Structure 1
Amino acid sequence: MKEGMSMNRVSWKGKSLMTVLALLLVITGCSGEVQKEGSTAEEGGIDRESPVLTNPKDFKFDPPVTVSTGIRWSAQGENEFKEGETIQDNFHTRWMSDSMGINLTFDFVVPNLEDYQTKLRLMMAGNQKLPDVFTTKVEMANDLISAGKVQPLNDYIDQYLSDNLKAIYEKYPEVLYPVTRDGQIYGLPNMFAMDEGTVMWVREDWLNALGLEAPTTIDEMTEVLRAFTEDDPDGNGKDDTLGLAVSLKEGPYNWMSSADGLVGAFGNHMPSKYIWEYWNPDESGQLVYNGIQPGIKDFLAQMRDWMSNGYVDPEAGIKDAAKAGEIAASGEAGIIFGPPWMDGYPLGGVEGFKAYPLPAGPGGQQARAEKSMVRDYLVFNKDFNNVDAMMGYINKIYAASFGEEDPYFDEALRNGWMEGYDYVLHEGNVYRGNFDEHGIPSDKWPNPADANVTYDLTLPFMNGIIPFQSDSAFQKFLSDPDADPDNMAEISVSKAKPRMLEAGIVRVSQNDNVIVNYFNGPPTKTMVSKGELLIKLMTESYLKIIYGDEPVDYFDTFVEEWKKNGGDQMTEEVNEWYENVKQ
């Protein structure tokens, strides 16, 4: 595997979590001081025998404990909850209370991340009581830790967290780096499923109409783009098609309508709209910022050629990912890059699209970006004294993914989150949709008025997701749609349509060809002060080259500007961090 493309960011294999914690004490000793603000629950310990330890499978707190939180949430459709239920009072909050003796209260509910962060910062500035437990992005977690507002969790992790979840942290220790100070861990990571890697979606019906094969190289792709643009692939006699739909507004890598599968054909570096990604090692072992590497110049030259020939949506530089996706969904573009789930959105109404592997570049290389493994972190107020209760709850949520062998596995979660909400039991069988077709009486449907409605769970804290757990499920359910799922990840995949399952298999087949970010620490000083400026410089320079406003060699001018305007200093800071963590 080529340098910079390994998925093992920093290896701690063979070490127990406590050994990793001891090593983190050395690694993070210079990460910044933590202000001490009164005593913490960990310093005082839990002054009762915890049922989480005495009865892990069926623990219940008596008397009940109350836990406050604040969340960001907004309705995503008409079927979020059953009539009379809300985000504050629903089947899951009642399950927490009835099953575990944990009464959840909400200090605030806001609709988006910006409002959520503003609310927390105002509470911090006014020295108001923060919720007992809440999630936060890395930047704010860093501020909360430095201000002494949240408590260290090492002892709780050691004593209360399930062995299976500890094993995940041992396997991916880098997920803990951003919330570790002086060897103390201040947050638990909410991780992604890592099932969104980019594939190449191509109009197979257009290929067939023109007698073409799906492109396997950049050279072949050039010819396919030309044909899709010039040879009337939809056969309507009009000049109304183009080759590639892509969003370049914020750089090549995006959540969909992305160009990362094209960047990866020219090298093992990936530009991002976030300054803290992507960084990976050069030949000397030093971390380098991906957006200024020579392979990016080759990518820009190729995009410039395609743009000048009219093969690419001319508005790619001003369209976000959703708008770019509309070009493919409308039948105007024949190729778009993005995750397997694009089968449903935005390509759900276009049957002709099929997922293919990424095209290889001049040197035979294929690669995609691998997103960060962590969504956000769960942190605990420094004065919160019921951390064991939350650890027990977290164990149960993750046990639903680990399966019945986990000591915390709750039989009530075997088939889903709640019968009558996300599944129905009927005559000994489990059904998750199309209830009328299976002869199930309407009074057993989650929504008696609609046989296809189910209610998904909005988890208030941890999502219970285990990275890469769903990989084998794509082939399992494509081979046998009626197979029984063994865990929550498989339950999710079992609902996918065949085209998405096929796309998932394509994605899994290229899991070794990924570009990962080796920088997992908190933002450095220069990232905070100059990161936004440097990202703007990069994005604008790329677009000038792609649209022909500047020559390809302008890339070299951009690189020099990037370095002298804070890039070199930032690189020093990143490598100071990296020297402390690498082995």
Structure 2
Amino acid sequence: MKKTAVFVLIVAVLCGIVGFQWIKSNSKNLITTNVEINESHWINGKYDPPITITRVVKHNSASTKFIKGENWDHNVFTSWLQETLGIKLKTLWVVTDENDAFAKKLKLSISADEELPDIIAYRGSYETLNQLLDSGRFMPIDDLFEQFASPIWKDAAEKYPSMWYSVTRDGKKYGLPLLDYSMNTESVLWMREDWMESFGLKAPKTIADLEKIMDVFTNQDPDGNGKNDTYGIAVTLRMQLNTWMSDLSWLFGAYGAINSQWNKEGDKLVYGSIQPGAKLALSKLNEWIKKGYIAREASMWDETKASELFTSGKAGIIAGPHWMPDWPLPLLKQTVAGAKYKAYPVPAGPDGKRGVRAGGSAPVNGTILINKDSKHPEAYFYYYNYLLEHYANPAAGSEFEYGFAEGYDYNIVDGQLVKDTPEFVSPMDYSLTYEGARIPDLMIETLAKLAKEEPVTPFEKQVKAKRTVEEIEAASIVLDYDKQGIHFANLYDGEATETTKLKGELLFQMEREAFSKMIYGQLPVNVFGDFVKQWKASGGDQLTREVNAWYESVK
């Protein structure tokens, strides 16, 4: 009996040693099995044989269109992707970009345990991003990034380390921040310049100046049709007032409180929507509703729908980024003959304060999530590396010297590069994300240069051919914001706190409902103090403590 036991023990030890040696020698393969296997298919810069990557699409129906009989799976981009990198693209489903339908469909797919694509490009609310990251359906990307990310990508990550804050869980990164151009979200006021000229109006320097202009745009029939059907400004009052287009953060900034984000006050972070300045901004919005400067239907419109009030010729002002002459503002000139628009700086409040939202603390325009069951998790890296190295800032004589594809986003006419034509489409609308690849500081620096000098590099020539004088002037305004220090990023980029998970939706809805009722006069603005007390007692105070604990750990 003892001999048998000793024999079993010896066998177990030997098996353990052998097993340990096998695990030790194959540990890398166990951790990144798919990466090791799939790397062997990457031959001479492409997959051979080709692989298939699945995706889902948030379709911006207002700006994305197809030509030449193409569709989501068969178009100039998917053909290029397969020919160049050996990647076939398969679309599981497409949802239009209206009323948060894409996020709703994603969350429904996860809750129903439905098939998810290999890659999801998500751009939307912080709350939904947290739900996606916490779903357990996506893989950590730390090792993949270290192994496969290009030097350009890693340089950006080193310059903007806060880009990782929102996608980090328990020390691991579960999403790839999609690089954006820096200073790409700050609002300028886009105003109907032909209306300004018709009435001899001057640039507004203060909120009071702006109100005089809005009164003219609302009450003096600026479109000349003999009807009382125009408005001073196009905005969305549906969900958030601090948003990427049809924005109102600048109004709150005029009173010293950028709403719906965490701002620095002293050495602490404070929530802008509960600061005294927010009450003054809400009071002003209530006045503007009463005077008809804002359409009462604004509470039902999202950002894109609100912009249609401006592009249809029925509003004189809209706040948004410097790139809006690229989209959607050209729709105005297509709709209204002789219409002109021009960018103006945001005005100052009664105490001389000015401020606009600036997105997050890093230039990021969404998150790439990789399915934990993906057989090719490294494929996105090969793809994005290629675009960063060849498309984002192309070399003279390269495949992307003039754009992505002739006849789509550019033509050469009489030896000149033509890019700004309504018939053109952006092949990057069909890509793995919703745009190509961007080197953060390149665009704003290029626009600043083009305001003074002629273009030299292919990228500069593309920008010159595509971007209008109006956009270049608007970029100069944004650069001036930077010099004056009046653009403010949301300084909380961390993962959802415990209070956010438990009470975040409650606090958001509380703010939304209270603000809406004060703006529309269903409650007097004087109840603002009661709202603040209720917000704090309902978890706001605890949330503030958690946010500041995080801030102390990273600042």
Under a length normalisation based on structure 1, what TM-score does the superposition of the two structures give?
0.75
What corresponds to 1:421 in structure 2? 408
Deviation (angstroms), 1:384: 4.0
What corresponds to 2:23 in structure 1? none
What corresponds to 1:296 in structure 2? 278
Deviation (angstroms), 1:293: 0.7
What corresponds to 2:209 in structure 1? 220
What corresponds to 2:499 in structure 1? 526
What corresponds to 2:262 in structure 1? 279
Distance 1:126 1:479, change over 3 A: same
Residue by residue over 1:105-157, the C-alpha shift from the partner in whole angstroms, topping out at 9 and shown as x without a partner, is 42612324767656666665676764433334665665565565433322332
Deviation (angstroms), 1:522: 2.5
What corresponds to 1:21 in structure 2? none
The one of 75, 78, 86 aligned to 1:90: 75
Deviation (angstroms), 1:395: 0.6
Residue by residue over 1:214-235, the C-alpha shift from the partner in whole angstroms, topping out at 9 and shown as x without a partner, is 2101233334344555566667
What corresponds to 1:181 in structure 2? 169
d(CA) in 2 for partners of 1:206 and 1:293? 36
- Amino acid aligned to 2:262: W
d(CA) in 2 for partners of 1:410 and 1:563? 60
- Amino acid aligned to 2:273: G
What's the secondary structure of 2:46's corresponding residue? Answer: coil
Residue by residue over 1:10-48, the C-alpha shift from the partner in whole angstroms, topping out at 9 and shown as x without a partner, is xxxxxxxxxxxxxxxxxxxxxxxxxxxx99864448447
Residue correspondences, number: 512
Deviation (angstroms), 1:279: 1.0
- Amino acid aligned to 1:521: G
Determine whether 1:155 maps to 2:143: yes
d(CA) in 2 for partners of 1:393 and 1:554? 53
Query: Contact 2:392–2:437 (CA<8 Å) still a contact in 1?
Result: no
Residue by residue over 1:160-216, the C-alpha shift from the partner in whole angstroms, topping out at 9 and shown as x without a partner, is 211111111112222212222343222211233342421123344444444442210
The one of 257, 262, 274 aligned to 2:251: 262
Under a length normalisation based on structure 2, what TM-score does the superposition of the two structures give?
0.78
**Structure 2 unaligned blocks of 5 or more:** 1-26
d(CA) in 2 for partners of 1:39 and 1:116? 37
What corresponds to 1:500 in structure 2? 471
**Structure 1 unaligned blocks of 5 or more:** 1-37, 273-277, 435-450
Determine whether 1:460 maps to 2:449: no
Select the structure of larger CA radius of gyration.
2
d(CA) in 2 for partners of 1:83 and 1:208? 41
What corresponds to 1:396 in structure 2? 386
RMSD across aligned C-alpha pairs, in angstroms? Answer: 3.9
Distance 1:39 1:129, change over 3 A: farther
Residue by residue over 1:41-95, the C-alpha shift from the partner in whole angstroms, topping out at 9 and shown as x without a partner, is 6444844795899x9xx6233x325142221154848984454543223333332
d(CA) in 2 for partners of 1:324 and 1:118? 21
Higher alpha-carbon deviation: 41-50 or 247-256: 41-50
Aligned pairs (5 A) from 1:511-550? 511=482, 512-550=485-523
What corresponds to 1:554 in structure 2? 527
d(CA) in 1 for partners of 2:444 and 2:289? 36
The one of 48, 51, 54 aligned to 1:69: 54
Deviation (angstroms), 1:346: 5.5
Determine whether 1:471 maps to 2:450: no
d(CA) in 1 for partners of 2:509 and 2:250? 22
Query: Contact 2:177–2:366 (CA<8 Å) still a contact in 1?
Result: yes
Higher alpha-carbon deviation: 75-84 or 88-97: 75-84
The one of 213, 235, 260 aligned to 1:246: 235
What corresponds to 2:87 in structure 1? 103
Distance 1:428 1:388, change over 3 A: farther
Deviation (angstroms), 1:300: 2.2
Query: Contact 1:329–1:347 (CA<8 Å) still a contact in 2?
Result: yes
- Amino acid aligned to 1:301: S
What corresponds to 1:17 in structure 2? none
Determine whether 1:354 maps to 2:326: no
What's the secondary structure of 2:354's corresponding residue? Answer: coil
Determine whether 1:337 maps to 2:309: no
Query: Contact 1:160–1:392 (CA<8 Å) still a contact in 2?
Result: yes
Query: Contact 1:151–1:380 (CA<8 Å) still a contact in 2?
Result: yes
Identity of aligned residues (%): 33
